[in-house]
Amino acid sequence: MKPRSLAFAAMLLVSFVAPSSAQQSQRSWFEGGPTPLKYELALVPNVEAGTFTGDVRITINSDAELAAVTMNAIDLNVTRATIDNSQVATSVDAEAQTLTLTPRRALRGGRHTLRIQYNARILDDPYGLFRVQYQDDNGQTRRMIATQFEPADARRMLPLWDQPNRRAVFALTVTHATDQMAVGNMPVARTQRLSGGLSRTTFQDTPAMPSYLLFLAVGDFERITRDVDGVEVGVVVRRGQTARAQYALQAAEQSINYYHEYFGIRYPLPKLDMIGVPGAGGFGAMENWGAILYFDQFLLLDEARSNETDRQRVFSIVAHEIAHQWFGNLVTMNWWDDLWLNEGFASWMAAKAVAARHPDWQPWLSQLADGSADAAALDAREGTHPIVQTVNTIDDANLAFDDITYDKGLAVLRMLEAYVGEEGFRQGVRDYLNAHLYGNARTQDLWTAVQAASGQPVLEIARSYTTQPGFPLLTVQGADCRGRNSDGTIRITQRRFALDEVSRTNELWSIPVVAQRVGGEPVRAVLPPQAQSTIDVGACGTYIVNAGQSAFFRVKYDETNFRRLVEAFPQLDAADQLGLLLDYFAFGRSGDAPMTDFLELADRVPASADPVVITNTAESLVALATYAHGRPSEDAVRAYVRGRLQPYFARVGWDARQGESSNEGKLRATLIGSLAAVGDEAVIAEARRRAATPDAVQAGIRDAVLTVAAANATEAEYEALVQQARSTTDFVEQRRLWDRVAKAQDEALARRSLQMVLGDDITRQLRPTVLSDVAEVHPRLAWDFLVANRAAVEAFLDPLSRLEYPTTIADNSSDPAVADALIQYASNQPEGAQRTAAGIAASIRLKARTVRDAMPAVEQWIARRGAAGRGR
């Protein structure tokens, strides 16, 4: 699953939903008892009425006598139940989300057949069996249905053992309108025409798989296909959208070919569909085996409107979800504790697929600047958790889909691959998969396989990075060519890197390190889990620790080496430039070094630097300008940032050039938004001029230009934009338009946008996005709105986003009062959600502390340099 796009997504009540598993543990529910072997499910949905009937036969096997059979179910109205054709009593525990069948006499050990007939609701939010309403190309209102079950919502469609380590075969039949297409995990086995314009479609049996991977969709679909190395790969989209699906089909082909080569295991099913539905939710896509679900904006591309960011995002998400077909589907984590085995691995494999097929996109640099940096920020403050964590409830499982699971998991995999070598690591991955085909595994199983295949001692490194929270800060000194330090010995002190007092704990790590003198050969070592260590880089001189930036730690240099790195900065490799910038911006926030050290580095980023390095520099400088908001220095800081960014924009200009890289196109769009954010009147004026004829704006900068224009809209322009958003029927464009509406800088217009969140102007599924977009520009206004309208907002949040959505809104603030209010808001939520809220509250207070402690020195530094900076 790809995380929520609100954070990107990234991706997230006790009063929000009916009593749930939030209050009780699931871990030992079904450790014993019968084993489900096969579910034969027949569904008859009534899409217009929002209801369905179900009839399921479940084959189970038990080694022992059974007095009763208990399984998961929620909100299913059971009308009849039998075991081996004998009617049984039924009882429901709504809080535990279970259904119990009790026969007249105990069942002997062996196989038995359960049959349960029931009815239930089709939901209007994207979980369980849900429906989506949209406008077709003729302006007609239509509906389709689809399913979303991860982590534990299959129980809303049928009674079953709804946990990842209870794999079973699924045989699915659905009755539907003849003029609509039904899509499942497997190819259609047969279709029978019925009376009344209905058909009954039966799919081939699935392999044994976890319940959360079961999938069904029915709608007015069209399907395009191609043969990819013997696999029928399809993209299934609403009628009229196949032209926008070609890029995703190409991305799937490139990904599958790469994974066949990497894993040495062929994709095991006869077909792989990618299904696009209009809408939005707490996820971007879901890796159902053989039938991956996407929301349209993460699958479809429009050449007239899509930019380089859109293209890279679609490819990366397609690669991520297809990687799951092996890592997660073919082999599944045993329990949600090891969710990172699914998500971190799929994220890492997606980056490898991008690097193999589109190396010019620099996926490892981009991941370092975005995903790994986000994970590091979360991992250095209150509210973090180990990669391998304890998941006791469904709410815990929902909260586990976070940056630690995805991006820290990816970073640790990359670090260990760099340590043991690519070939040894790949062989370990292959051995792990082959040992657990169609089964379940734990984290330890992966590391054991990698260690055995590579001959490298990875278990201690892996243990220290996956079973404890946080990550190391290495403080290094030596090799400075002065007196007793004239040799190549670097003295290293490790401790946990912390952004707050709660995180200043005593963990130690076993750390693979690559150290390198600038211009010299790399030296590899593994630091033991102790406070003091040394590395010999061969001779004194300027050096980099974590050369190539493949490991997950931060490095603080002694003053002598830091000053030399500042001078050498333009000649460093792009990865090391980026690593220094990220480390020292983080030190400016943590207090480990003054923020002016970051400015010294940023001041040396040349106009010819890699686009990813410039993009990160621009984002950090804009953040500093945000910290200056409301201070006497605000104008001076904004002027300095403009002066630093303008030479980069002069490099790329307004219009795309023949032969430029994809990342240069992304950089252009970033700089337009960044310069406008710090008040560059020329950029704002030109964006507004171009926005007057939107169809003439190049696709690569269209979104950036129109967003800048919307942010600076007059009341009349705002009204025109609202009308356009209301009248647009295409959901992807509708989403873009409402995003722009919500970015208005004028507070009065922002208040109008918030009021529309409560009405029918905005599609239900987009209302959370609009509120979060307003929060980016007006954080306190949006937070107060959420608090004042809590029940109304929570009513249109799905389970995957309900627990974390308040933190998404609050995290835009630097007001400690909002941090306090967030803690109060979450006080009646489950314990896991309270931990998440505490972490975001810590982040808010950190911003306030950065403004208080770091900005005075920043302001003095800028005053000395002058508003234009050095303009390198």
CA–CA separation, 540 and 620 (whole Å): 32
How far is 171 from 173, CA to CA, in rounded Å? 7
Per-residue model confidence as pLDDT tens digits over 574-585: 999 999 999 999
User: Is the per-residue pLDDT at 869 higher than 90?
Assistant: no
- According to the annotation, is 112 in a ligand binding site? no
CATH number at residue 529: 2.60.40.1910
DSSP 8-state code for residue 408: I
Do the domain assignments include residue 345? no
Question: Is residue 511 assigned to a domain?
Answer: yes
The answer to whether residue 810 sits within a structural domain is no
pLDDT at 799 over 80: no
Question: Nearest-CA neighbor of 392 among 311, 337, 310, 316?
Answer: 337
The percentage of the chain sitting over the pLDDT mark of 90, rounded to a whole number, equals 87
- Residue 439, in any domain of the structure: no
The tokens for 459 are: 């278990």
189 domain residue, yes or no: no
Supply the DSSP string of 462-523, one letter for each residue.
HHHHHSSSS-EEEEEEE--SSGGG-SSEEEEEEEE--SSGGG-------EEEEEEETTS-EE
d(CA 465, CA 454): 19
- Domain-located, residue 753: yes
Q: Give SS3 for 214.
A: coil
Question: Smallest Cα–Cα separation from 415: which of 380, 379, 450, 445?
Answer: 450
pLDDT digits (tens, 9 = 90+) for 600-614: 999 999 999 999 999
H helices of 132-183, where? none
Q: Is 288 marked as binding a ligand?
A: yes
The answer to whether residue 515 is domain-embedded is yes
pLDDT at 15: 25
Strands 271-277 and 231-238: parallel
In this prediction, residues 818-825 reach a mean pLDDT of 96
Q: What is the mean pLDDT of residues 455-478?
A: 96
Beta-carbon count within 10 A of 567 CB: 11
Residue 150 marked as a ligand binder: yes
Taking residue 303's Cβ as centre, other Cβ atoms within 10 Å add up to 10
Consult the annotation and say whether 284 binds a ligand. Answer: yes
Residue pair 765/3 in contact (Cβ under 8 Å)? The answer is no
Q: Is the pLDDT of residue 10 over 90?
A: no
Q: What is the pLDDT of residues 532-552, one digit of tens each?
A: 999 999 899 999 999 999 999
For residues 316-329, average pLDDT: 98
Q: 792, 811, 835 — which closes off a domain?
A: 792
Q: Is the per-residue pLDDT at 171 higher than 90?
A: yes
d(CA 249, CA 314): 10
The reply, when asked if residue 778 is annotated as ligand binding, is no
Q: Is 484 annotated as a binding-site member?
A: no
| pLDDT confidence band for 871 (50 / 70 / 90) | very low
Q: pLDDT at residue 22 above 90?
A: no
Which among 321, 417, 804, 859 is annotated as catalytic? 321
Strand partners, 231: 228
Does the residue 561 lie in any domain? yes
Domain count, the chain: 2
Active site residue 717: no
Q: How far apart are CA 117 and CA 747, in angstroms?
A: 54
Domain region containing 781: 713-792
Q: Of 746, 774, 792, which one is at a domain's C-terminal end? A: 792
How far is the first Cα of the chain from the last one, in angstroms, to the nearest whole number?
42
In degrees rounded to 5, what are phi and psi of residue 119?
-140, 160
Residue 780 pLDDT more than 50? yes
> Is the predicted pLDDT of residue 44 greater than 60, yes or no?
yes
- Which of 792, 813, 846 lies at the terminal end of a domain, its last residue? 792
What burial class does residue 870 get, using C-beta atoms within 10 Å of its C-beta: 0-12 exposed, 13-18 middle, 19+ buried? exposed
pLDDT of residue 2: 61
Rounded to whole angstroms, the Cα distance separating 28 from 25 reads 7
